[in-house]
């Protein structure tokens, strides 16, 4: 069974119907059919909420979070020692945002594909780290 970790940009693309939304929809459909497991870290879920609030409204952001909770997506609320150490290593080495380092670490720890569109942030990492990427665009 395929396992994925969602980056905030993937969910934002899906909910804002941006380019790449169909690839996210395919993964969500696979999870609905029991063919995939999807995880998102609460830090990245916060990013989704913040972005939708800023771009649209708090009301729409609340609706989206409620919809996400109905889907077969595991929201990881914990930051284990392994997670924060791995994320810290990524943040130091690649000077990336906290949320990006958390999502990347989560994917590495779970041996999951990292669902993202952030080439500018992750192209260099794809070449030098054992993280598997699922590019939505």
Q: What is the CATH number of the domain that holds 7?
A: 3.40.50.1010
Domain count, the chain: 1
Express each pLDDT in 93-127 by its tens digit. Answer: 999 999 999 999 999 999 999 999 999 999 999 99
Q: Are 73 and 10 in contact (CB under 8 A)?
A: no
Q: Are 103 and 7 in contact (CB under 8 A)?
A: yes
Chain center to CA of 88: 17
- Write down the mean pLDDT value for the chain: 96
User: In this predicted structure, what is the pLDDT of residue 36?
Assistant: 98
Q: Is 111 left (phi over 0), alpha (psi -120 to 50) or beta?
A: left
* Short-list 86, 128, 113, CA closest to 10: 113
Q: What residues make up the domain containing 53?
A: 2-135
Express each pLDDT in 8-38 by its tens digit. Answer: 999 999 999 999 999 999 999 999 999 999 9
């Amino acid at each position: 069974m395929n396992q994925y970790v969602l980056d905030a940009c993937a969910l934002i693309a899906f909910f804002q119907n941006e380019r790449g939304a169909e690839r996210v929809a395919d993964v969500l459909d696979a999870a609905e059919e029991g063919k995939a497991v999807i995880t998102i870290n609460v830090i990245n879920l916060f990013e989704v909420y913040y972005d939708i609030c800023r771009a649209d409204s708090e009301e729409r952001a609340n609706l989206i979070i409620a919809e996400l909770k109905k889907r077969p997506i595991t929201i990881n609320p914990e930051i284990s020692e392994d997670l924060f150490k791995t994320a810290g290593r990524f943040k130091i080495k690649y000077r990336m945002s906290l949320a990006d380092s958390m999502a990347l670490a989560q994917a590495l720890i779970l041996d999951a594909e990292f669902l993202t569109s952030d080439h500018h942030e992750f192209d260099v990492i794809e070449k030098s780290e054992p993280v598997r990427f699922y590019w939505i665009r």
